[in-house]
C-alpha cells in the first residue's frame, strides 16, 4: 500500500507540473493585458509601460515561466498583481474557508442526496414516493445556487434574523487557537469561536449542499439500482432475509464503492460551486478569488489558486482510491 | 428507509435552531455604544491613494487622505471645480505664472504617530509619482511640475514647466493630489499599500482580505474628531446581498455596482435614499473617423441619426437616475457648453447611407464590447437601433480586460466608453481628442483618442497657457463646436455617482440630489457623516 501511495504521489508531480504549465500559458493566451485590466480607462501609454515593468511582464516569456516554476516548487507564487499580498499567504488564509464550505456542503449533500437516491431506487415502483423524490432532485438540479442563496438569505437572515448575512466567522481565530493549544486551555472561547464559524457556514453549506444533493441523489439512485440488480441481492432475498437486512447489510455496503467515486467527483463539482456561493454569501474563499483573479488578469493569484485546486483534487482522488481498498477487501494495491 | 430520513431531518432542524440562537446573542455593551458606520462595497485593490484606480479604492481613500486643496462648499453644496485650501493654508503665484509658493497648515498630524505633516511629505508625495515609482498611476497628471523645493517645513515652492491653468485643481485631494507620510512610506515600503498613513479623518486599523476593512476615527484630525468612531468597509460584491443588508440594518451605506430602476425602487421602498453626486461618469460613443466607412462624414451623421440617445438613456437610467448628456465635455466640467447632435431620425439616416454608397447598409463584423458595467446593455440597445437603418453590428461580448486591449488595437470602428476625470476641459479633451493620444498598435501607443481626431491640437496647446478664464472658456467652447461639426463623438448619458443610504442611521449635511460634486467618491467630507443611533 505504501509503495502504491508513493507511486501515486510521484505520478502526481508531473500532473501538477502539467496543470501549472497549462495555467501559466492559458493565462497569457487570454486576450487582455493585466495592466490595462488594472488601470482601465486610466491606462495611458506611459503608465502601461511603467506597470508592465513593475510587474515583470516585460521579461521574455520563457524567463517568466522558469521563474514561476522555480518559485512554485517552493510554494512561492509571487505577489498578487492587484493587491500586492504574497499569494501563498492569501491562499493560506482563503483555502480553509473554501475547504470547510466544501466539506460542510458535502455533508449536507450526502445527508440529503444519498437517502433520497436510495429510497428513490428501492421505491421506484411506487410512484407516490419515487416521483416526489425525483421532483425534489430535479428541483435541486435546476435551482441555481445564487438564487437559492438569495432566497435563504431573505428568509433566514432578513425575515427571521437567525443567521448572519455576510462573512465567514472568525476561522483565523479558531485555527490560531488550535495551533497554540488554546482550544484545551480555553475550551469555552474555542467552542464559541467554532459556533460562530458554523453559524456563518450554515446557510452557504445548505445552499451549495442542496443543489449538489440533487446530483448526489441521482448518482446514488443509479448506484443502488445497479447493486440491487446483482445476483447476491436476489440470493439474499431468495433466502428469505428481511428487506431491511438486504438493504443495510448487502446493498448499502456494496454501494459504497460507487459512492466513493461520487465523492471524488463531488469535490471537483463543489469547488466550482463555491464561486457563486462565496459571492452570494459574501464569504472569503478561493473560488470567488479565482474568478476575480482571472477577470483581472492577476496571473500570480490565478496560478496559485488553480495549483491549490489541482492539488486538492489529486489528493482527494488519492484518498478515495485508498478507501476503495478499505470498503472492498477484494481491492488490493501493490 | 423512512427512519434515516426522519433522523436526518431532525438533526438538520436542531442544527438550524441551535446555530440560529447564536445570532441572537447581543454584542458586548462597549461595542454596542460605538458609532459604527457599516459600508457595503467591493474590496479596494490597494489603499495607496496614488495607486488606486478602482472606484471603491478611491472612495475609501477619501476617508484617510487629504490634499493641499479641496472642493469648496458654497451655498451648502460641494462645488464643481472650485477649490479652497485644505492642507495648504495659502499660496501665491509668481508673475510669470510658473512658480507656486505654498504655505502649509501648521500642526496637521499624520496617523499612527508619524508626526506632523511638513513640506518634505508634500514633496515626497508628488515626486514619487513624477518619477513613476512602481505601482503609482497618476504621475502623468503631475508632469507639469519641473521641480519642488522645500523652503522651510511649512513652505514649499513648486516650479512648473509652463503655466498650468488647472494646477490648483491638480492639488485637490483626489488621486495624485493626496499627501502621504514620507516616514511611513520609507519605513513600510510595499507594505504601505495595506498600512496607509495619511492625514484624513479616519485611520486604517485592519484588513481581513475578502471580508472587511476597519477604519477608526482620528482624534488628531485637524478638522476635529469625526462623530463616527469606526467605519467597517465590507467586501460585498453582489448588489442583491447589499440590498438585503440595507433592509436588515447590517449596512448603512451601499456602493452599488450599478443603479438600475429596480435597485432604486427597492431602496425607496425600504425607506432609504440615494445620494446622487454629479457630474459622475459619462457614457458615450467615439467614432473612428479614419476607418471606412466611418471616414465619410455622411456615414457618421447617419450613425448619429440612427441612435435614439434619449431612448437609450431612459431604458438604462429611467427618470432621475441619469441625465441626457449635452456635450462631449460633460456638464459640470470647466469649459462645458451644450452641443447639438443629429436628432434621432432613422429615415434620414437611411437616406444619408444611400448617398454615401450604402443603400443596403453595411455590417460591422467582430465588434468587441465589454461584458462588464454598462457596456453590453448600451451596445445591445444601440445595436437594435442601428439594425433598423441597415447597420448590422455583430457583437462579440468579451471580458473587460480584452475589450480595453482590443479598442487600443483599433479593432472597433466606434468605441463605447465611460469614465470620470478632473473636472476641467483640458485633461478631458487632451485624453480623448489630442492627436498624441491616438492608439497605434504599431508604435505601441495605447492612448484613448478613439475617434482618431486631430482637429483641436492647436486649441489644446493654447488653452494650456491661457491665464484668462474667459478666454480659456472660449477656447474650449470652440473645441466643442469643432467636435459638433466633425461628428466624432456622441454622448449618451451623464451618470451621477450614486450611493444608497439609510437616513434613519446616517445623515449627511448635503442634499441627496446633486448636493456634492463627486469624482470617484461620493462623500467629499466623510467626517461630516453622522451615525444617528
**pLDDT value of residue A35:** 83
- pLDDT tens digits for B235-280? 998 899 999 999 999 999 999 988 888 899 999 999 999 999 988 8
**pLDDT value of residue B449:** 96
pTM of the model: 0.82
**pLDDT value of residue B31:** 57
- pLDDT tens digits for B179-224? 999 999 999 998 999 999 999 999 999 998 888 999 999 999 999 9
Angle of the B375-387 helix axis to the B309-316 helix axis, nearest 10? 140
Q: Where are the alpha helices (DSSP H) in B222-326?
A: 239-248, 261-269, 297-306, 309-316
Quote ipTM for the complex. 0.77
H or E element that contains A294: helix A286-295
User: What are the DSSP calls for A167-223, one per residue?
Assistant: ---SHHHHHHHHHHTHHHHSHHHHHHHHHHHHHHHHHHHHHHHHHHHHHHHHHHHHH
Chain A residues whose beta carbon lies within 8 Å of the beta carbon of residue B240? 150, 280
B483-486 CB contacts, 8 Å cutoff, 24+ apart: B483/B328, B483/B339, B483/B433, B483/B453, B483/B456, B484/B339, B484/B340, B484/B341, B486/B289, B486/B297, B486/B300, B486/B453, B486/B455
| Cβ(B225)–Cβ(B111) below 8 Å | no
Chain A closest-CA separation from residue B192 CA (Å): 10
Give residue A19's region: left, alpha or beta (phi > 0; psi -120 to 50): alpha
- pLDDT tens digits for A227-245? 888 898 899 889 888 888 8
In the stretch 483-512 of chain B, residues with CB closer than 8 A to chain A read none
| C-alpha to C-alpha distance for B395 and B410, rounded to whole angstroms | 15
Angle of the B239-248 helix axis to the B261-269 helix axis, nearest 10? 10
Query: What percent of chain B is predicted at pLDDT more than 70?
Result: 94
* Closest Cβ opposite residue A31 in set B244, B402, B445: B402
| C-alpha to C-alpha distance for B37 and B476, rounded to whole angstroms | 42
Name the grid cell of B295. Answer: 471616414
- pLDDT tens digits for B273-306? 999 998 888 999 999 999 999 999 999 999 999 9
* Mean pLDDT across chain A: 86
- pLDDT tens digits for A57-75? 889 999 999 999 898 888 8
Find the closest chain A residue to B139 by CA distance. A47
Name the grid cell of B510. Answer: 448635503
* Closest Cβ opposite residue A202 in set B19, B247, B445: B19
Chain B closest-CA separation from residue A19 CA (Å): 23
**pLDDT value of residue A44:** 64
**pLDDT value of residue B30:** 55
**pLDDT value of residue B499:** 95
| CB within 8 Å: B210 and A285 | yes
Mean pLDDT of B462-491: 96
| Omega within 30 of 0 (cis) for the link into B293 | yes
Mean pLDDT of B415-432: 91
The yes-or-no verdict on residue B512 having pLDDT over 50 is: yes
| CB within 8 Å: A83 and B401 | no
**pLDDT value of residue B64:** 98
- pLDDT tens digits for A40-58? 666 666 677 778 888 888 8
Confidence of residue B413 (pLDDT cuts 50, 70, 90): very high
Q: Does B26 touch chain A (CB under 8 A)?
A: no
H or E element that contains B202: strand B202-208
Query: What percent of chain B is predicted at pLDDT more than 90?
Result: 77
**pLDDT value of residue B134:** 80
| C-alpha to C-alpha distance for A296 and A302, rounded to whole angstroms | 9
Q: Does B427 touch chain A (CB under 8 A)?
A: no
**pLDDT value of residue A41:** 60
Chain A closest-CA separation from residue B357 CA (Å): 35
| Cβ(B279)–Cβ(B496) below 8 Å | yes
Confidence of residue B7 (pLDDT cuts 50, 70, 90): very low
User: What are the DSSP calls for A51-64, one per residue?
Assistant: HHHHHTTTS-HHHH
The yes-or-no verdict on residue A94 having pLDDT over 50 is: yes
Rg (CA), chain B: 25
Confidence of residue B139 (pLDDT cuts 50, 70, 90): confident
- pLDDT tens digits for A250-289? 888 888 888 888 777 777 788 878 888 998 898 999 988 8
Amino acid at each position: 500500500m505504501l509503495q502504491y501511495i508513493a507511486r501515486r504521489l510521484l505520478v502526481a508531480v508531473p500532473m501538477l507540473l502539467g496543470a501549472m504549465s497549462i495555467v501559466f500559458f492559458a493565462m497569457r493566451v487570454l486576450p487582455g493585458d493585466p495592466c490595462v485590466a488594472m488601470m482601465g480607462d486610466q491606462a495611458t501609454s506611459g503608465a502601461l509601460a511603467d506597470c508592465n515593468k513593475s510587474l515583470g511582464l516585460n521579461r521574455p516569456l520563457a524567463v517568466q515561466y522558469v521563474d514561476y516554476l522555480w518559485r512554485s516548487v517552493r510554494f512561492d507564487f509571487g505577489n498578487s498583481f492587484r493587491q500586492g499580498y504574497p499569494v501563498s499567504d492569501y491562499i493560506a488564509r482563503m483555502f480553509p474557508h473554501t475547504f470547510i464550505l466544501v466539506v460542510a456542503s458535502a455533508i449536507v449533500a450526502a445527508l440529503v442526496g444519498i437517502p433520497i437516491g436510495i429510497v428513490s431506487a428501492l421505491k421506484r415502483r411506487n410512484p407516490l414516493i419515487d416521483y416526489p423524490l425525483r421532483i425534489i432532485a430535479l428541483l435541486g438540479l435546476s435551482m441555481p445556487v445564487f438564487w437559492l442563496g438569495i432566497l435563504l438569505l431573505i428568509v433566514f437572515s432578513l425575515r427571521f434574523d437567525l443567521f448572519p448575512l455576510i462573512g465567514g466567522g472568525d476561522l483565523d481565530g479558531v485555527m490560531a487557537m488550535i495551533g497554540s493549544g488554546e482550544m484545551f486551555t480555553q475550551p469555552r472561547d474555542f467552542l464559541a469561536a467554532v459556533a460562530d464559524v458554523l453559524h456563518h457556514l450554515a446557510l452557504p453549506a445548505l445552499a451549495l449542499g442542496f443543489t449538489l444533493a440533487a446530483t448526489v441523489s441521482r448518482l446514488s439512485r443509479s448506484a443502488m439500482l445497479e447493486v440491487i440488480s446483482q445476483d447476491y441481492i436476489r440470493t439474499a432475498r431468495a433466502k428469505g432475509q428481511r428487506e431491511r437486512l438486504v438493504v443495510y447489510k448487502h446493498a448499502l455496503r456494496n454501494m459504497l464503492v460507487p459512492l466513493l467515486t461520487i465523492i471524488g467527483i463531488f469535490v471537483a463539482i463543489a469547488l466550482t460551486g463555491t464561486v457563486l456561493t462565496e459571492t452570494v454569501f459574501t464569504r472569503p474563499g478561493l473560488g470567488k478569488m479565482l474568478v476575480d483573479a482571472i477577470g483581472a488578469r492577476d496571473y500570480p493569484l490565478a496560478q496559485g489558486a488553480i495549483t491549490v485546486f489541482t492539488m486538492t483534487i489529486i489528493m482527494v482522488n488519492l484518498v478515495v482510491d485508498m478507501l476503495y481498498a478499505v470498503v472492498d477487501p477484494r481491492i488490493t494495491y501493490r | 428507509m423512512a427512519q434515516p430520513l426522519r433522523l436526518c431531518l431532525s438533526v438538520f432542524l436542531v442544527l438550524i435552531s441551535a446555530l440560529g440562537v447564536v445570532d441572537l446573542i447581543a454584542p458586548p455593551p462597549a461595542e454596542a455604544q460605538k458609532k459604527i458606520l457599516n459600508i457595503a462595497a467591493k474590496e479596494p485593490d490597494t489603499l495607496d491613494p496614488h495607486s488606486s484606480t478602482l472606484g471603491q479604492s478611491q472612495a475609501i481613500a477619501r476617508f484617510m487622505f487629504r490634499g493641499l486643496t479641496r472642493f469648496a462648499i458654497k451655498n451648502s453644496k460641494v462645488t464643481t471645480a472650485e477649490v479652497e485650501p485644505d492642507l495648504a493654508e495659502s499660496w501665491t503665484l509668481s508673475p510669470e505664472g510658473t512658480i507656486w509658493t505654498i504655505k502649509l497648515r501648521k500642526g496637521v498630524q499624520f496617523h499612527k504617530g508619524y508626526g506632523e505633516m511638513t513640506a518634505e511629505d508634500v514633496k515626497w508625495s508628488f515626486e514619487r509619482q513624477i518619477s513613476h515609482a512602481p505601482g503609482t498611476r497618476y504621475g502623468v497628471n503631475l508632469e507639469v511640475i519641473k521641480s519642488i523645493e522645500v523652503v522651510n517645513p511649512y513652505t514649499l515652492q513648486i516650479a512648473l514647466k509652463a503655466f498650468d491653468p488647472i494646477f490648483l485643481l491638480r492639488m485637490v485631494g483626489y488621486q495624485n493630489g493626496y499627501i502621504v507620510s514620507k516616514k511611513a512610506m520609507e519605513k513600510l515600503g510595499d507594505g504601505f499599500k495595506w498600512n496607509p498613513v495619511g492625514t484624513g479623518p479616519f485611520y486604517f486599523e485592519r484588513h481581513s482580505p475578502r471580508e472587511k476593512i476597519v477604519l477608526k476615527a482620528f482624534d488628531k484630525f485637524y478638522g476635529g474628531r469625526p462623530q463616527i468612531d469606526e467605519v467597517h468597509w465590507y467586501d460585498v460584491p453582489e448588489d442583491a446581498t447589499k440590498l438585503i443588508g440595507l433592509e436588515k440594518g447590517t449596512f448603512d451605506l451601499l456602493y452599488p455596482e450599478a443603479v438600475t430602476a429596480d435597485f432604486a425602487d427597492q431602496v425607496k421602498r425600504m425607506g432609504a435614499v440615494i445620494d446622487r453626486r454629479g457630474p459622475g461618469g459619462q457614457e458615450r460613443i467615439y467614432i473612428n473617423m479614419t476607418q471606412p466607412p466611418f471616414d465619410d462624414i455622411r456615414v457618421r451623421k447617419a450613425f448619429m441619426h440612427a441612435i435614439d440617445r434619449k431612448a437609450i438613456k431612459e431604458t438604462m437610467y429611467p427618470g432621475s437616475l441619469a441625465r441626457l448628456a449635452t456635450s462631449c465635455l460633460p456638464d459640470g466640467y470647466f469649459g462645458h457648453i451644450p452641443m447639438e447632435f443629429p436628432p434621432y431620425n432613422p429615415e434620414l439616416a437611411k437616406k444619408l447611407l444611400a448617398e454615401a454608397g450604402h443603400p443596403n447598409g453595411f455590417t460591422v463584423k467582430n465588434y468587441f464590447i465589454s461584458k462588464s458595467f454598462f457596456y453590453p446593455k448600451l451596445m445591445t440597445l444601440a445595436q437594435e437601433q442601428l439594425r433598423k437603418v441597415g447597420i448590422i453590428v455583430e457583437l462579440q461580448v468579451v471580458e473587460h480586460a480584452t475589450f480595453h486591449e482590443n479598442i487600443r488595437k483599433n479593432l472597433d470602428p466606434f468605441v463605447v466608453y465611460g469614465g470620470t476625470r478632473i473636472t476641467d476641459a483640458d485633461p478631458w479633451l487632451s485624453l480623448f481628442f489630442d492627436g498624441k493620444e491616438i492608439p497605434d498598435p504599431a508604435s505601441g501607443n495605447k492612448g484613448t483618442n478613439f475617434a482618431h481626431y486631430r482637429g483641436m491640437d492647436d486649441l489644446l496647446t493654447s488653452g494650456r497657457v491661457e491665464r484668462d478664464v474667459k478666454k480659456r472658456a472660449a477656447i474650449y467652447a470652440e473645441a466643442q463646436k469643432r467636435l459638433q461639426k466633425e461628428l466624432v463623438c456622441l454622448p449618451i448619458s451623464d451618470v451621477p455617482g450614486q450611493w444608497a443610504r439609510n437616513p434613519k442611521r446616517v445623515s449627511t449635511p448635503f442634499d441627496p440630489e446633486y448636493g456634492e460634486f463627486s469624482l470617484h467618491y461620493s462623500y467629499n467630507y466623510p467626517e461630516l457623516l453622522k451615525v444617528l443611533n
